[in-house]
């Protein structure tokens, strides 16, 4: 939520001239990203006049941008105590409570707000996000649809709808592609126009300038995949520039920055400004790392600032965009010659895997199979709860019924979601252990108490599956029609464990129950999984980087050979 206009506040603070001056300066600091200075001035204004609701509101925005969520929520409450009819403060409070994991409170606040303000598009969008996180995907999609109807030109709201559809068993490849292409027509098409000729040196074998665009060059799961790539790029063949939309830097940001040739902070740039920067940098291959995830920059690619444009990493899927030449995939996610019509882009298959993983953690070490000591099997799933739909819960219930006495550890938000899970699983509370989000070391330690993980569908675990395997915990996965439902097949296939990625619900239950009742096999898998991971393409950074670089080179040669001075796309025969 942007801060309210200064002219509105001047009227409210006009009777305190010094406070008005301080507020104006605080607002300038806030808009320029000088958050600590803005905070100090807002607090000074409140020392003079603590009853100013809008100052409490803007202070909440500043605190939230600094990651101080509990303080931000308190500031929004202070604003509402002074001005009960303050929809923007209610909306921001709701989204902040989502970030704090207080999901039921957040949903209640946003629903009550929308009863009074049914045309508040941003609140519909935020309610959709909260319901998605609670696994209530169908309701979430209705909220995102309402937000996009109210603000049809809002590309971010529409991207939320496109992305959330991947979690729903109601949407197959055709509907996912159709909505992504609709996003392209509404939002990207108007940006393309006549692309100015690219002035890049058209030598096919020269050192390539590769740019990566993301808001997640920080302590985020993307770092687990970017670190091995950026560490192993052949700098004699590629010059790497990262365009970082991260609002705040951290230790991971600093580590990644040290692995590349150029680092461009871009959070304050408009889409047009970022596109101009990419073009000025002479980038040959521009790689989007987000697709339709939050804080995407697809409208930069719509302006075609680079001759070759690629989608990768955020999730295997389609942007729906004409301006994106290809999407990277692998032979497990998309077998050769099968289903390429599900994507707007050309599908370029990397040699082995879509993901190359570095756990970025020294420990903990893999332990002995917990069931050997406890005498009972503990299933687990630490996937984001937004991937858990009623069909998944029914599948897990069948597994629990097949393995008497077994338990399950699940990552579920506190409150109604946990009650719903217990109801759907049909087992006593003593058989289900609930956990919340944790920092990475503590999160990895949770696998020490899990014998076997059960995957979600249609959106498989991605990072969490690799984390589970790294910790020695096998994963049984159910593949489906959409590409996000074949992540387990890709990862397990690269480990030589393709039999754990099955194609039917019955096979899922049989495979999980069979492993759970064969403790010697389960213990042997646990003991050898980390070594198997380390010896596989999933952790071979050099092999992965060479494969990616060869794909870049092939696309670049194609552009050099085919594109006239006006600059056509790099598309051609499918790989």
Query: Which pTM was predicted?
Result: 0.93
Class of domain 6-190: mainly alpha
Class of domain 370-534: alpha beta
Phi, psi values for residue 244, rounded to 5° = -100, 120
* pLDDT, position 569: 58
* pLDDT, position 190: 72
Rg (CA), the chain: 25
How many other CB atoms are there within 10 angstroms of residue 568's CB atom?
12
Q: Tell me where in the chain the CATH 3.40.50.2000 domain(s) lie.
A: 370-534
* pLDDT, position 502: 98
Written as six digits, the tokens of 187 are 């939002």
Q: Which residues contact 52 (CB under 8 A, 6 or more apart)?
A: 9, 12, 13, 19, 45, 46, 82
* pLDDT, position 193: 64
* pLDDT, position 4: 52
Residue that is written with structure tokens 């680092």 in the block:
263
Contact 27, 7 (CB under 8 A): no
The count of residues in the chain is 575
* pLDDT, position 442: 95
Q: Of 298, 295, 294, 293, whose CA–CA distance to 309 is shortest?
A: 298
Q: Tell me where in the chain the CATH 1.25.40.10 domain(s) lie.
A: 6-190
The sheet carrying 308-311 orders its strands as 262-265, 238-244, 208-214, 285-288, 308-311, 326-329, 346-349
* pLDDT, position 570: 63
Does residue 87 sit in helix, strand or coil?
helix
Q: Architecture of 203-356+542-562 per CATH?
A: 3-Layer(aba) Sandwich (3.40)
* pLDDT, position 338: 87
Q: Of 53, 68, 64, 1, whose CA–CA distance to 23 is shortest?
A: 53
* Average pLDDT per block of 10 residues along the chain, 575 residues long: 47 59 91 89 94 97 94 98 97 97 97 98 98 97 98 97 98 98 93 80 97 95 97 98 90 95 95 97 98 96 97 98 97 94 98 97 93 97 97 98 97 96 96 95 97 98 98 98 98 98 98 97 98 98 98 98 61 46
Q: Of 383, 381, 356, 357, whose CA–CA distance to 544 is shortest?
A: 356
Query: What is the per-residue DSSP string for 225-274?
Result: HHHHHHHH--TTTEEEEEEE--SS--HHHHHHHTTSSEEEE-TTS-HHHH
Q: Tell me where in the chain the CATH 3.40.50.11380 domain(s) lie.
A: 203-356+542-562
């Amino acid at each position: 939520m942007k801060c309210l206009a200064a002219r509105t506040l001047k009227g409210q603070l006009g009777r305190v001239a010094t406070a008005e001056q301080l507020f104006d300066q605080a607002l300038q600091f806030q808009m320029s990203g000088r958050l600590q200075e803005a905070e100090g001035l807002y607090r000074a204004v409140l020392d003079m006049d603590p009853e100013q609701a809008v100052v409490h509101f803007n202070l909440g925005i500043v605190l939230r941008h600094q990651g101080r969520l509990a303080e931000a929520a308190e500031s929004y409450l202070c604003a509402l105590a002074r001005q009960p009819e303050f929809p923007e403060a209610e909306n921001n409070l709701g989204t902040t409570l989502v970030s704090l994991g207080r999901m039921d409170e957040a949903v209640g606040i946003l629903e009550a707000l929308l009863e009074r303000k049914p045309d508040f598009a941003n609140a519909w969008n935020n309610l959709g996000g909260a319901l998605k996180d609670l696994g209530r995907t169908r309701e979430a999609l209705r909220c995102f649809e309402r937000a996009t109807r109210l603000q049809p030109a809002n590309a971010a709201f529409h991207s939320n709808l496109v992305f959330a559809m991947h979690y729903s068993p109601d949407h197959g490849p055709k509907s996912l592609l159709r909505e992504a292409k609709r996003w392209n027509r509404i939002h990207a098409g108007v940006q393309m126009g006549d692309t100015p000729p690219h002035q890049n040196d058209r030598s096919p074998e020269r050192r390539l300038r590769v740019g990566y665009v993301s808001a997640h060059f920080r302590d985020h799961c993307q770092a687990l995949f970017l670190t091995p790539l950026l560490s192993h790029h052949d700098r004699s063949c590629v010059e790497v520039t990262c365009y970082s939309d991260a609002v705040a830097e951290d230790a991971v940001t600093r580590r990644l920055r040290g692995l590349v040739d150029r680092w461009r902070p871009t959070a304050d740039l408009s889409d047009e400004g970022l596109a101009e920067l990419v073009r000025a940098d002479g980038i040959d291959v521009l790689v989007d790392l987000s697709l339709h995830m939050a804080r995407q920059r697809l409208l930069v690619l719509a302006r075609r600032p680079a001759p070759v444009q690629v989608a990768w990493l955020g999730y295997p899927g389609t942007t729906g965009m004409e301006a994106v030449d290809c999407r990277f995939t692998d032979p497990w996610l998309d077998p050769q010659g099968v289903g390429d019509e599900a994507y707007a882009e050309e599908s370029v298959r990397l040699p082995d895997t879509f993901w190359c993983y570095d756990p970025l953690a020294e420990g903990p070490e893999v332990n002995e199979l917990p069931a050997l000591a406890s005498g009972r099997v503990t299933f687990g799933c630490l996937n984001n709860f937004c991937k858990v739909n009623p069909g998944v819960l029914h599948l897990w219930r069948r597994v629990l019924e097949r393995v008497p006495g077994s338990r399950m550890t699940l990552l579920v938000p506190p409150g109604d979601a946990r009650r719903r899970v217990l109801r759907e699983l049909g087992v006593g509370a003593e058989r289900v252990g609930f956990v919340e989000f944790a920092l990475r070391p503590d999160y990895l330690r949770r696998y020490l108490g899990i014998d076997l993980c059960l995957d979600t569908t249609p959106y498989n675990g991605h990072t969490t599956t690799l984390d589970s395997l790294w910790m020695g915990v096998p994963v049984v996965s159910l593949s489906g029609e959409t590409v996000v439902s074949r992540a387990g097949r890709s990862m397990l296939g690269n480990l030589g464990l393709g039999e754990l990625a099955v194609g039917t619900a019955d096979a899922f239950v049989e495979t999980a129950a069979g492993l759970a009742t064969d403790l010697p096999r389960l213990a042997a898998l646990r003991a050898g999984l980390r070594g198997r991971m380390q010896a596989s393409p999933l952790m071979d950074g050099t092999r992965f980087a060479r494969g990616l670089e060869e794909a870049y080179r092939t696309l670049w040669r194609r552009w050099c050979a085919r594109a006239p001075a006006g600059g056509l796309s790099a598309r051609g025969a499918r790989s």
